[in-house]
């Protein structure tokens, strides 16, 4: 719902503290009560920080959720609602649409249950879900993820970047690919030159490939630079470090054997879980 780990933890903590003050014997359905509380707190929080998100420097990406379990992604098959791509897709929705969409599409609640949770009628919830689906249109197909293909394409992408293979890299990218980077207005110094996240999305295979190769070339010659694969939102991602300090996290979105989106997180506040 929120895309920020600390905010999500605060919501859970607030809900738990409220639960401790209740006479729980009066609650007939604890799970329903807790889901309702967390959902509405999340909606209220998103409404509250709307201006903050609008004034964010550059593009905003959800905070990566780094897994500590090396084989966590082996359990994933094709249905994966936690990926950065899916979470970015849901940024198109209002907080209420997002809640209804998640409850219905991800958690399989029926409309009567959703109506009780968000305080709307059954018909209202149907309309909200319909609106959300219309906003997303064909993007819902992105819930289908082939993890094996994703890993293979990612390795080919890294090889092309490392070898400076422009043609090989372009061949991996969908023609209308989009690269989105979140730096939060920060930058990293490489060879006396500051490198910051691009403030606007980069469109097109040639433009994305040119940018990727240029940045990788600079970083490979930087003392103390190293990379490693990590699991982010239960999908493989590449973390980059300079002198053990995390500087970026790259995640890819793959469809039909091509990379359709590249997400780069370089905001230090959102990379703390990599330290």
Question: Over its length of 275 residues, how does the chain's per-residue pLDDT go in tens digits?
Answer: 998 889 999 999 999 999 999 998 888 899 999 999 999 999 999 999 988 888 889 999 999 888 765 554 444 444 456 678 778 888 889 999 999 999 998 889 999 999 999 999 999 999 999 998 888 875 655 556 677 888 899 999 999 999 999 999 999 999 999 999 999 888 887 767 788 889 999 999 999 999 999 999 888 888 889 999 888 887 889 999 999 899 999 999 888 889 999 999 999 999 988 87
**Using the 8-state DSSP alphabet, how is residue 2 labeled?**
-
Which has the closest alpha carbon to 66: 242, 253, 239? 239
Task: Please report which residue ranges of 119-252 form alpha helices under DSSP H.
Answer: 122-136, 147-163, 166-172, 205-220
* Residues in Cβ contact with 63 at an 8 Å cutoff, skipping those fewer than 6 apart: 3, 4, 5, 265, 270
Classified as helix, coil or strand, 61 is: coil
Separation CA 32–CA 37 (nearest Å): 9
Strands (E), the chain: 173-182, 187-190, 193-196, 202-203, 225-232, 235-242, 245-255, 258-265
CATH code: domain 5-55+84-143 is 1.20.140
Architecture of domain 147-274: Roll (3.10)
The two structure tokens encoding residue 240: 């980059």
Task: Please report which residue ranges of 205-258 form alpha helices under DSSP H.
Answer: 205-220
* Residues in Cβ contact with 52 at an 8 Å cutoff, skipping those fewer than 6 apart: none
All CATH 3.10.450.50 domain ranges in the chain, comma separated: 147-274
């Amino acid at each position: 719902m929120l895309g920020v780990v600390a905010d999500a933890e605060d919501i859970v903590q607030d809900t738990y503290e409220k639960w401790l003050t209740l006479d729980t014997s009066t609650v007939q359905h604890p799970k329903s009560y807790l889901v309702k509380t967390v959902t509405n707190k999340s909606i209220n929080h998103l409404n509250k920080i709307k201006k903050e998100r609008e004034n964010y420097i550059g593009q905003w990406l959800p905070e990566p959720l780094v897994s500590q379990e090396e084989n966590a992604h082996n359990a994933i098959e094709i249905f994966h609602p936690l990926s950065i791509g899916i979470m970015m897709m849901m940024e198109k929705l209002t907080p209420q649409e997002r809640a209804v969409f998640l409850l219905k599409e991800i958690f399989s609640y029926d409309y009567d249950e959703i109506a009780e949770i968000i305080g709307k009628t059954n018909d209202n919830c149907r309309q909200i879900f319909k609106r959300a689906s219309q906003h997303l249109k064909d993007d819902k197909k992105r819930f289908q993820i082939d993890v094996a293909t994703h890993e293979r394409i990612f390795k080919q992408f890294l090889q092309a970047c490392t070898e400076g293979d422009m043609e090989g890299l372009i061949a991996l990218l969908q023609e209308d690919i989009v690269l989105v980077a979140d730096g939060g207005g920060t930058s990293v110094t490489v060879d006396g030159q500051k490198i910051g996240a691009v403030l606007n999305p980069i469109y097109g295979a040639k433009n994305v490939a040119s940018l990727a190769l240029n940045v990788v070339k600079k970083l490979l010659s930087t003392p103390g630079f190293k990379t490693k694969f990590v699991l982010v939102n239960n999908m493989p991602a590449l973390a980059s470090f300079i002198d053990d300090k995390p500087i970026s996290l790259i995640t890819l979105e793959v469809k039909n054997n091509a990379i359709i989106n590249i997400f780069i997180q370089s905001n230090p506040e959102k990379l703390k879980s990599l330290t």
